[in-house]
Amino acid sequence: MLNTIDISKANSKVIRYKQNKEAFLKHIKDAQVVKSHAQWSDQFWVEVMRIEPFNTIILNPHLVSSFSITYDGLEAEHIPMGSGSMYVFGDMTPLKLDIVFEEEATWDDLYNYFFISDNKPIIPSDGTYLLPKDWYFEIQVYAVDSGWHKKSIYHNNFIIDGSMQKDFNTEGGQIQEITLSFVPMNSNERKFEKNKSKSNTKKNIWDRFTDILF
């Protein structure tokens, strides 16, 4: 009788172990699924609006294929010293924003938005120069979390650095893409968004779930 009881207890422990193992593995799998949906590198929203010359239309954010931010930093300058050398900080490199746009069916849409105003080219052809305030854009960059909530990364007033380039090739059926580089009007002006405290931020169910898991 005692042996029978002992065996039943042992069997119940094995069953509970298997159940706990399955629950644990399911818990890890669910956590991995949630984490995979929380990545931000392929979930973003970019708003570009031309301020001067005056334009009230925000460029369709769905035309933005990708973007990259190169944050400001310092260049290291190499200085020889006898048989050795040392590096010192040199010029400051300002922040740069590269955006890849998908061209629409009519190829001139993006070019008109960025370079044409009142049916006239914005870039002067009479030998005069433009000041930054004469031709600039306001750009707001967001990351999107797993709950499709926009989280501001950076925004500022930018000017175009360089020209617009279109590449053509005979391989594949790719959509026409255009890359433009933007630099801040004032590199000393910082407009990084401050993170709100968790107590004042309303979280969705996915955010709460990830807080519990991680």
Return averaged pLDDT per consecutive 10 residues of the chain, 214 residues in all: 50 62 77 63 87 90 90 86 87 88 74 90 89 94 77 90 81 80 79 47 54 52
Any domain includes 35: no
User: How far are the Cα atoms of 140, 153, 178, 203 from residue 69, in angstroms, in the given order?
Assistant: 12, 10, 17, 27
Report the CATH number that the domain containing residue 49 is assigned in CATH. 2.40.30
For position 195, what pLDDT does the model report? Answer: 47
Domain assignment present for 54: yes
For residue 136, what are the domain limits?
40-195
Would 165 be classed as within a structural domain?
yes
For residue 158, the model assigns a pLDDT of 95
Q: Is residue 20 in some structural domain?
A: no
Q: Let me know: does 111 contact 92? Beta carbons within 8 Å.
A: no
pLDDT for the residue 34:
66
- Give whole-number Cα distances, 116 to 53, 54, 58, 99, 194, in Å: 9, 11, 15, 19, 35
Strand partners, 89: 76
Sign of CA dihedral 156, 157, 163, 166: positive
- Per the structure block, which two tokens stand in for 56? 């009230």
Residue 32 lies in a domain: no
Q: Tell me what pLDDT residue 214 has.
A: 47
* pLDDT for the residue 42: 74
In a domain, 127, yes or no: yes
Q: Work out the angle between the directed axes of helices 2-36 and 205-213 (0-180°, nearest 10).
A: 130
Q: Residue 102: is it exposed, middle or buried by C-beta count within 10 angstroms (0-12/13-18/19+)?
A: middle
| Domain-embedded: residue 104 | yes
For residue 168, being part of any structural domain is answered with yes
| Residue 58: strand, helix, or coil | strand
Whether the bond between 124 and the residue before it is cis, its omega within 30 degrees of 0, is no
For the chain, how many structural domains are there in total? 1
